[in-house]
Amino acid sequence: MSTQPLLQVRDLSVDYVTDNGNARAVNQVTLDIRPGETVGLAGESGCGKSTLAFAIANLHAAPALISEGEILFEDRDVLKMSEREMRDFRWAEASMVFQSAMNALNPVITIGDQIIDVILAHKSVTREEAWKRGEELLETVGIHPSRMTSYAHQLSGGMRQRVVIAIALALRPKLIIMDEPTTALDVVVEREIMDELYSLKEEYGFAILFISHDLSLMGEIADRIGVTMPSTPIPRVWSHRSRRSTDRRSA
């Protein structure tokens, strides 16, 4: 694993602008993620985890405001990227698995159309080539290619989550931000998805920022963990040897 950070967040603050003044949701966060590393970010609901995730991908819109700090991805300042540069950056270099797969997927177009939309937006390929790539992505996450013509409501919760992960993997990014990816799933499906995700990580070598309030799950997969509290800065992310990383070393 490289010691040079892939992502560097420095003193990042995010405010929400209201008529009664600014409400601070993220307060001077500093963290690094190295290539191939899994960093866990834990905290209770409402402490700013998702706000931080959206800030890293520069997805915030009014009334959210990144009021201070910087975000460096391979030494490039994400907050200073042009619209074209951001278009090339999102999904191709850093992608995101959103908190609710049902809300992240468009209910009126097929799963296949949503997958190939990402591919066609970034690659000079035909629709047929993109569709074939979409079928390969579904197989990668354990879903039969015939589901390309299904709609989100025709899939189970676990299958929808796998589809969102497939979309995040479509362009083989270097970093995947995962915001509560197993919320509302039962423990069996959660385990299947996390095992599948870790196998994909070993195959493709991407880094993960894993956001959750489930410390037991995070302890299984994360190399380092940081814990945040409402209205306080996130402390330095400390080193943590997960059970899974121990298993890999002893295998």
In this structure, what CATH number is given to the domain that contains residue 202?
3.40.50.300
The amino acid at residue 218 is M
For 28-49, write each residue's pLDDT tens digit.
999 999 999 999 999 888 888 9
Q: How high is the pLDDT of residue 197?
A: 86
Q: Which of 89-93, 167-171, 192-196, 203-207 has the lowest mean pLDDT?
A: 192-196
Adjacent-strand bridge partners of 94: 90, 175
Give the Cα separation of 169 and 25 in Å (integer): 29
Does the pLDDT value for residue 139 go beyond 60?
yes
Q: How high is the pLDDT of residue 15?
A: 95
Contact between residue 10 and residue 70 where contact means Cβ atoms under 8 Å apart:
yes
Owning domain of residue 4: 1-93+175-184+194-245
Structural domain count, the chain: 2
Task: Give yes or no: residues 42 and 150 share one domain.
Answer: no
Considering the domain boundaries, does residue 125 fall inside one?
A: yes
Considering the domain boundaries, does residue 189 fall inside one?
A: no
Does the pLDDT value for residue 220 go beyond 90?
no
Q: Among 140, 172, 204, where does a domain finish?
A: 172
Considering the domain boundaries, does residue 251 fall inside one?
A: no
Task: Give yes or no: residues 88 and 117 share one domain.
Answer: no
**pTM value?**
0.86
CA dist list (Å): 96 to 183, 229, 247: 15, 23, 27
- Enter the DSSP assignment of 58: T
Does the pLDDT value for residue 66 go beyond 90?
yes
Task: Give yes or no: residues 13 and 87 share one domain.
Answer: yes
Q: Average pLDDT in the 145-172 region?
A: 94
Q: What percent of the chain has pLDDT over 70?
A: 90
More confident residue, 118 or 188: 118
Q: Average pLDDT in the 119-144 region?
A: 95
Q: How high is the pLDDT of residue 242?
A: 52
- Enter the DSSP assignment of 147: G
Q: Average pLDDT in the 159-171 region?
A: 92
Considering the domain boundaries, does residue 208 fall inside one?
A: yes
Give the Cα separation of 177 and 115 in Å (integer): 18
Task: Give yes or no: residues 179 and 165 share one domain.
Answer: no
Adjacent-strand bridge partners of 208: 38, 176
Give the Cα separation of 99 and 212 in Å (integer): 10
Considering the domain boundaries, does residue 250 fall inside one?
A: no
Task: Give yes or no: residues 201 and 79 share one domain.
Answer: yes
Does the pLDDT value for residue 95 go beyond 80?
yes
Give the Cα separation of 98 and 116 in Å (integer): 18
Q: How high is the pLDDT of residue 40?
A: 94
Q: How high is the pLDDT of residue 231?
A: 56
The torsion defined by the Cα of 214, 216, 222 and 225, in degrees rounded to 10, comes to: 70
Task: Give yes or no: residues 86 and 106 share one domain.
Answer: no
